[in-house]
Every structure is written in C-alpha cells, then in structure tokens.
Amino acid sequence: MKNYVDYNRTAWDSEVEKGNRWTTPVSEEVIERARNGVWDILVSPSKPVPQQWFPQLRDRDVLCLASGGGQQGPILAAVGANVVVFDNSPGQLQQDEFVAKRDSLDLQTELGDMQDLSRFSDGSFDLIIANGIACVEDISKVWRETYRVLRNGGILISGGSNPVEYVFDLKEWGNGNLVPRFEIPYSDARDLTPDELHELVISKGEPMFFGHSLENQIQGQIEAGFAITGFYDDMTKGSDPLAGFVALYFGIKATKVSSE
C-alpha cells in the first residue's frame, strides 16, 4: 500500500454510499433542537461528550477534524459556533454541505489529511473536535498540529479506541473468537499479509486502520503540550466479542497550556 491516505479517502467515500453510521447526516429536528440549546455530540459510538467539557460556543472558532458526515459540525454551527469541518473524504464533506444548505447553516468545509493542518495559522481555533485517529499512522503529528492551531487555553476533544481490539486475529474476531495474534501498535498495512489485506480490507472497500497504544493516545497529547482535563469510557454493546466486557472506546478532553 503506497499511500494509505489516498486509499482511505476513496474508502470513506464508499462508506458514505453504504450508509455507515458515521456518514449519516443528522435530521432537521436535531438541528432545530440545537438552535434552541438542546444538543450533544459523539466522538465515540454511544456516550455523548459531557456538556461541561465545552466552552461557551457562540461566535467561537471550532475545527471539526476528520469529522465529516453531517453530524458534529452542523450541530455546533447550529449552536452558534464558527465551524470548519476538515476531512479526508469529499463524500463525507458533502454530507456537511448538504445539512448546511438544508438548514441554512453557515459552516466551511476543507478537504485534507488531519496530520497536516499547515493551511491554518497558529492559534486559529478555540475548540477542536478530533475523530478518525484510527485512520492515520502517526498520531503524534495530529497532536502537534492541533496544539499549534489552538489558542492558549483552547480545548481538544478527541475520540480514541482501546488497542486491545487490535490484538486479535481479524478472521477469528469476525467469527466471534478471541485469538491473540498482533502486537500494539497495530497496522493493517504492516501486520496483515498481502493476501489478508486484500481479502479483509481492500476487496471490501473498507478503510485501513491503525491500533495506537494508550501511551501514544494519551501521553502523546501531554508531550505535545496539552494537559489532560477530562476522560470517559464508552462501554458499548454489540456483536464484537469484547463488547460489554471492556470499554473499547473513550473520550479525552485536553487543554492547551500556554507555551509562553
């Protein structure tokens, strides 16, 4: 795989066509409630981000990073924030543009790789909502870039995943069996054989994923300059063999500590 970023761009466009839950725009009713002050957003499958994590949003500059799909960005725009939705998938961004047009929302969309925010000046945003870190190989770049483009005292809210789910053989996992095979950090591109990569990922048009260690996900933010100021587990239910036994997802609130 020469360029997984380009591959994932096409794969997420395909996920839009398939109706993946993270690509489905919110309803008009959700936007209307947000305009009236009743709202929440997700950075993990089922548990909303705590309301107390958010600053006053009206007229604040917000970057929704790898957050296309017509969900978080339009909701925050309806609350009154100045929103930029940044995503690697044109199809995902089209979902945000659809909601913005449907509900007369003012938001901006930007196409790009979340590891490179060079188009934004230092200190451009008050709040960043970061999704999709499992789709990039080097998340240290994401933490450094988000720190740079946040204003002093700005907040980063990110969703992460427990790397334990990447330890197990994918075929066996799909059959409901837990067979340990891989070390963390994990990479579809590196750890699957070429035949497995084709069978389990490419032939299905699915995105490529990377299982990051907890150290890289949490200590990585601290090393970039953030102070961790909030954390929650999301204990989801579902068909995964580990669901209901251990929290596979979580949310992190980090605050930019002034470097001056």
Structure tokens at 212: 């990051």
CATH number given to 4-162+209-256: 3.40.50.150
pLDDT of residue 76: 98
Under the banding of pLDDT at 50, 70 and 90, the label for residue 176 is confident
Report the SS3 class of residue 152. Answer: strand
pLDDT band at 259 (very low <50, low <70, confident <90, very high): low
Taking the model in full, what pTM does it have? 0.96
Helix axes 72-79, 90-102, angle to 10 degrees: 30
- DSSP code of residue 50: P
**C-alpha distances in angstroms, 133 versus 37, 45, 92, 228?**
29, 14, 16, 17
Contacts of 19 (CB under 8 A, 6+ apart): none
Domain ranges of the chain: 4-162+209-256
> Contact at 8 Å (CB) between 127 and 106?
no
Query: Sign of dihedral through CA atoms 9, 14, 20, 23?
Result: positive
Reported as a pLDDT band with limits 50, 70 and 90, residue 260 is: low
Name the 3-class secondary structure at 3: coil
Query: Which residue has 């605050």 as its token pair?
Result: 255
Length of the chain: 260
For the stretch 97-124, pLDDT in tens is: 999 999 999 999 999 999 999 999 999 9
